[in-house]
Structure 1
Amino acid sequence: MRSSIRIKILGLSLAPLALTLATLIGMTSYWVNSYSTDLLDRKVRADLSVAEGFLNILKQQDLINLKQLSLNQQLQESVELQKPARISQQLYNFKMLHRLDFVRIIPAAKLSERVLKEPSLGQIASQVLAGNADAGLQLISPDELAFIDPVLIEQVRIRLLQTPMAQSTERHFEKRGMFIRALHPINNVKGEMIALLDSGRLLNRNNGFVDEIRDLVYRPGTLPDGGLGTVTLFLDDVRISTNVPNKNLPSPSGIESDPTPASRAVGTRVSKDVYQKVLVKGESWVDRAFVVNDWYISAYNPVEDLSGKRIGMLYSGFLEKPYREIHNQTLLNLTLAFVLVAVISVFLVLRSTGLITHPIRRIHSVVQAVKAGKRQRIGMMDTQDEFSELAEQFDTMLDLLEERNRQIRQAADVLEHKVESRTQSLQNKTRELEEHIRLLQATRAQLITKEKLAALGELTAGIAHEINNPAAVILGNMDLLQVSLGDHAEDVEEEIELIVQQVYRIRALVNNLLQYSRPGEYTQSMSPLNINQVIEDTLLLVRHTLEKENLEVKLTLQAKCSAQANVQQLQQVFVNLLMNAANASQSYKTIHVRSQDWYEGDSLKGVIVEVEDAGKGIAKEILPHIFDPFFTTRDNGTGLGLSVSYGIIRRYGGDIQVHSEQGHGSIFRVYLLHQARYNDSDQATTEQLLATLSEAQRKR
């Protein structure tokens, strides 16, 4: 649709403004998004550094405390004097004071024996023997915990929970424990090591540890409303200590930011992407990540044990949703501001363009009136500018155009009168010529039809003579053969009967050929037939061919109604369809032959016979021509089988239909009436047969 000059001027005025504002919004959105993403990444990376520092402080603190215990004079004396009761009491007091999960003393003489039973102890005992006390993270198996403290076996056990986006696993429980483990030697006054102090702080379900880091990193006011900061320690990919809430579990306190042990996501697992990058590749992850059941701005670092092996991850992160809402609200505010500026600009531009568009609209209204056939002029304009001069020149042009139109109409009237008189004469001559052509074409068609029928009669008479004589000879010789064989004729009686039947079938075909050429003089006898029996008899005729091609025929014969037809002609149709199906199917396939009653509504009309092959189907462009005479897709085919079959069924008042899809085989359906309506004036069939015989005579 054409737009008005007012809209165009408005567009030209607002386009730069709209482009500028859109660019500004895009740049602002990009800058806010980039800056926000970078700022959030920096914050979560700093939060993770604080968590790692806190964990390192815990390690060093446990080592310092253990060192102070090793210097305790009373403990040294108890070890040297071998007083187990005093040692146990002193270790118990130390354990309760520093909230450790186990503290023990391993005599130097038994250290080698313990190392054999506790492989994790052997990883760091060598450093202690070399005089280097150490503390760090270490995994301890249930078998080793049985030597240290059997009570800890159940404390470290964590059930694994189904977690979205985590990689699949066949484990159901995590039975290992992650400990902050510290070892320090106890030396006598001579500087000789007399025992080894071993302490451990269990991190499985150590919620106080992660909550303390969270409270340190995510103080009130550090996150927006609705924000949630979380810290997690992983053993491999399993959360063993976390304050990440699991929304799929009940929260007794009802406070999402302070989950109770029952609602913490302990036992859930990290997403597959984070697992591959952090635990498998050993790289840090600073990006958004799916944590249990929501998206968080997250930072992950691998955690290593005292031997430098990656055993888990340390995570710090906060909910992405509040920041995303702030970002979306900012974009919404910018968009609203743009809309407001655009509305104000449109209002101002419309007022400014009114002085230009008013004269243009006046000129446009006059143009539309003149176009509609009215006599109208612009007249004097209120403004003394280019539009006033344009209006004056336009009125002058309209006056000249009106005079020229009057002269043209006068000349057109004279010319129209002459054209009408000449046209009427030409139309009369044309009608006479068309009538002569119609009569000529009708006469020509009659002559061609008579010539074809004459040639057809001559050809069919010759064919009948040439075929009937050999057929009579064959029948006579078969009778002679049967008499000559005598009693031995019983061995080949079935084959002799089959030959005789086929000879009679040849005679019937010759009679059919005569019927095509002289349908008014020759009528094939018809009778009610049991279609199922006809199909079974037909299969005997093609049995050897089908067995040779390794094809199986599956019969589903359910028709109960009889059909009126000639048995030899009907067998000819079924033989053609079965042979076509055999040629189309591959070896070791099945050809389905089905029969059923033919109903239209509640009325029983006759029988339907289906022949379904297991071939490649018929192409769409070929399908309309399969019943044409001499049309075939096989090198050794004649193209007459389907054409003749179609003519036979149509003569009975029935029909043949085809359904085929390439790659899915073909189904030929034969419709036979219970009471045949013999049709010897089917124009389509007659023309088809005439063309067939003419082509055959030409080739001969």
Structure 2
Amino acid sequence: MVHDLDVANLIYVDHMKHTEDMVSYTAGFSRIIYPLANRHHGVLRQNLVNIYDEKFYGELDILTVVDKNGIVVARARNSSSYGDSQADNDLIRHAMNGTTISSTVIITHEELLKENRSLADQAYMEFTPTPKAKPRPENHSTSGMAILVASPIYDMNGRFIGVLYGADLINRDYYIVDEIKNALYKDEIYGGRDVGTATIFQEDFRISTNVPTDTGERAITTRVSREVNEAVLEKGEYWKDRAFVVNSWYVTAYKPIKNINGDTIGILYVGILEQPYIDAGYRILIIYILFLFTGFVLSIFVSQYYAGAITSPINKLIKGTESIARGQFEKIEVGTNDETAKLANAFNEMAIDLQKTMGELVLKRNEIETIFKSISDVASALDKDNRIIFANSLANKIFGDDINGKFCYQVFEGKDKRCEDCPGIESLKSGEVVRVIHSRMDNNGKEYFFEITGSPLKDENDNVTGTLEIRRDVTEQKTLENQLRESYENLENAYKELQQMDEIKSELVANISHELRTPLTSVRGYTELMLDGTLGDITDMQEKSLIVVLRNIDRLTRLITNVLDLSKFESIEHEISSLQLERLIDDVITDFEKNAKDKNITIAKDVEANLTLEGDEDRLVQVFYNLLENAVKFTDEGGEISVKAYREDAYHLHIEVSDTGIGIAEDELDMVFKRFYQIDSSSTRKFGGTGLGLAICKKIIEWHNGTIWARSIQGKGSVFHILLPVKQPDSSSQIYK
């Protein structure tokens, strides 16, 4: 019986897994995702009703959607009931954390009314007075026990937007218990009664059973005995023994049914009639009694002598047969070497073979049925002539219960002859898995696409005897592929247009820069001629004005140069070589020694020895030049400038350029690297500049896969940090574009 109970539990869990697959699969329907994501709750309610009527009527009792806060927005069985919170439900809380979860739960009368009044009526039960049951104060129950599944809903961007939960109410639903009975005991009848039975209890009363009453009805609302109640419900233990169930003696086994928190809320029971096995034992006993009687008639003295020796092993045989009747396959030891011992050994071998065969057959059958039923697509087994010999529940639901024996192309394709690219035929020929895509138009002219997979079915000699054919609706996938292909083409065209625009921009900037430089060169030349007196004497006021003109010509020239550098930076070739960092820094410091000395500024250098890196020498010199130029420019007389370089780790070098200048406000530290940005207009007038130097530095450093940033205290100075990799990617190539 313990083995039978394990098989029954496997079927119960399989039913829960099947329910979980249905709900999880439905959570991905676009008819649920789009209206929920866009808060079109009216559309969602109608869609949920339609989905339930199309796919789950008769399979699920509850199908409900809550938003990401746990508020109900749609119920399939009661579209007018919404707005209440389910956030306190343990399973829904798990689903809100991104986990699909299933469990057996108790649903209150109030919650059942919200889903549908008929469910509350179905769950209501008045207890039938039951001898030996443990007393309880109430005489009825309004709550129900159900298998409930909650699955998260994500939008097309992978964001969590809500939960879909569905439930199968077990009260007065006999599908599971009948499936257990058919799997374990088939239709075996003894004395006009089913030999095997199964029951599901909510707490201590039967809510689903195939145990009959005296009138032949199902014995729901009767209650379990006190000893089972205390062992299973109160202690959470298994219980197995012979028991008087309703109106007959059974060999029984019980196990607790627990919720997600581990609380026992019900019982799963299996039992077989004890009478068939007792009668078998009596028949054997009668045979031996006749044998003994015959021996007694032949020789009263011999029978008296051997009476004790024969009766003892017979009693052991009887007890052994009773043990087999209870499902306990224990070895029978009679303690003799005569014919009784041979009979006992025959019984032992029979019991071992029976136990092994029953276990293998039940397990194998249940495994196959479980796998076949768990397939969420249309699945069918075909013989060599492409006739359907078995189909799963979804195939029967869509195409009818009478499809067995018909040709697959008649049922699934609506054709009178085999398909040219039939995967079933190809799989029969090759013995391999074959996949094809078929399309089909419905009556409204809409085209549907199906992925059909044919897998060979082989016997124990590896001969192909048929095929397993699975049909999956991939219409949404094909539609999405077409949309992605169209979007990719649009993006590719847009990218080409952007490339053309970028080339035009670069050419325009280069032409404008050239046209501006030419007149600026002439203006600068004539200004210098006027300043050095070549064109005649000038007054002091004119000299000051001309110096201002010359300074602004230099500023405009730098601006043009910087704009041109930025515009053509990505298009020019950069020569990568191995560089001595200290040499580069020394060269740049040398260029600024005179300017620093004129302002009585000290430039200190602290560079770690033998620092090398890969990079474009001219561009990195340009970065250090800009940073030192700014440091000298914005540091008052008598100030200090420091240049440090050290190894940050095995793969990066760290360079710091610090000064004791005017500093930068904290809220402007990130802005100084933007193009044309200057701290304020007063600084521009006092120090000059284009606002492009640091932008160019940032561009060059990031091209080298590095990082540049600044730290500053206004009025005390600034520190500019550069982090550069020692090696550039693809460094085997010396020129990058």
Bin of the TM-score, shorter chain as denominator length: 0.3 to 0.5
Q: Which has the higher helix share?
A: 1
Q: Which has the higher strand share?
A: 2
The structure whose Rg is larger is 1
TM-score by length of 2: 0.38
Higher relative contact order (CA 8 A, sep 6+): 1
TM-score by length of 1: 0.39
